[in-house]
Amino acid sequence: MILDSDGYGQAGTPEDAELISPAIDCSGKDIVTLSLEQLAYSYGNANITIYVSTDDFST
């Protein structure tokens, strides 16, 4: 997924993007590893949040 915020110009309008995957069945696995890469050029405040759930966010 690529979010290129240059199209928003310099008006300071924040952009928001979500990448939501289907559930991944890790049952039967002793070890599960999440690996990702991100590159962010920030001209101010930038927040990147990753949410992980073991119960499909039911709690």
With contact defined as beta carbons under 8 Å apart, do 24 and 18 qualify? Answer: no
- Residue 31 confidence (pLDDT): 94
pTM (whole model) above 0.75: no
With contact defined as beta carbons under 8 Å apart, do 15 and 3 qualify? Answer: yes
7-51 residue pLDDT tens: 665 666 667 778 888 888 888 999 999 887 877 666 666 677 788
Print burial letters for 12-24: b (CB count within 10 Å at least 16), e (below 16).
eeeeeeeeeeeee
Separation between Cα atoms, residue 33 and residue 40, nearest integer Å: 23
Residue 57 CA to its chain's centroid (Å): 16
